[in-house]
Amino acid sequence: MFQVLTLDDSFDTLALRQALWAEKIGHQITSERVSTPDGEAVRQMLWLADPEQLPRVIAMLERHSRGEPLRDEATEASGFSSGASGGLWQLVRQTPLTWLVGLACCLTVLCQYVLGQAAVFEWLAIVPFELVGSQHIAPAPLSTTLAGEWWRLWSPSLMHFGILHLVFNLLWLWVFGRQIEAIDGAWRFALVVLVSGVAANLAQYATGSVLFGGLSGIDFAVIGYVFIAARRRPMLGYQMQRSLMIFMLIYLVLCMTPLSSAIGLGAIANEAHLGGLLAGLVLGFVLPRRAPGATS
């Protein structure tokens, strides 16, 4: 993050944060005491993940000073960033790990279609297994994974059961995972993804399941992390509505009831969802706040 502007303490940053996120500008806002001729005063510091975005931010603030909306009306109507729609590449530069995880999931699903589900699962399932006939498997114990095939603790997160399953999971990663990477940095995002993926997979394996997969455990983790961060550190620009968290909790509970099968949701890795959510909430509480200006 790079410090670019100092704002008066009386400046209401809520609308600015919302506008910056709408424009896909990674940022955070901190409050600090500074010395002035009249003594000490509190100022709000604006930090950007990409300092090249500063001219766009200044243009927003100039419109605000004239009593106009922070975002250009034409931009809001079109849904695209003003002028600097150097677009896709710029988004990739802001949150490269979010895109990398999504790309890895897409390539894995492509391999599932090309090579077959069984071949990919034999390599990425949480434990090695052998096919017995066409309907049964003989899984190895977890100790086999721990003896050297460590990637299996996380790799089930890459596998998905169909395109809709993949798209749904990538949507949540895009909405919430990129907030973590843009605000708290790539290393913090990587830690959340790694820890929550392992936690979710082990939680599901503990129920006796072997053939499971999906990014949803990590999705629940990033949702939980952002929910905590938006309340403990609201000045940083995290966006998370309480109503959405309530919806996700209702969905989590619904999937644990027979009603989920009755409405056609099918088999769901509920324990992975719960394990991921708990991991995200815990990480949101225990991870120390990054120092302002620290780069990722």
Write the pLDDT tens digit of every residue in 120-146. Answer: 988 999 998 877 766 667 788 888 889
Question: 5-61: per-residue pLDDT in tens?
Answer: 887 777 778 888 888 877 778 787 877 766 666 666 677 888 787 777 888 888 888
Question: 83-120: per-residue pLDDT in tens?
Answer: 444 556 767 777 899 999 999 999 999 999 999 888 89
Please report, for the chain, the start and end positions of each structural domain, with discontinuous segments joined by +. Answer: 2-87, 96-286
Please give the CATH topology (third level) of the domain spanning 96-286: Rhomboid-like fold (1.20.1540)
Residues 6+ apart with CB under 8 A from 216: 169, 172, 200, 269, 272, 273, 276
27 in Cβ contact with 49 (< 8 Å) = yes
Q: What are phi and psi of 263, to 5 degrees?
A: -95, 10
pLDDT at 38: 65
Is the pTM here over 0.75, yes or no?
A: no
Q: What are phi and psi of 44, to 5 degrees?
A: -100, 125
Residue 203 has pLDDT above 90, yes or no: yes
Beta-bridge partners for 132: 136
Tell me which residues are annotated as active site: 216, 273
pLDDT at 63: 82
**Whole-number mean pLDDT of the chain?**
81
51 in Cβ contact with 27 (< 8 Å) = no
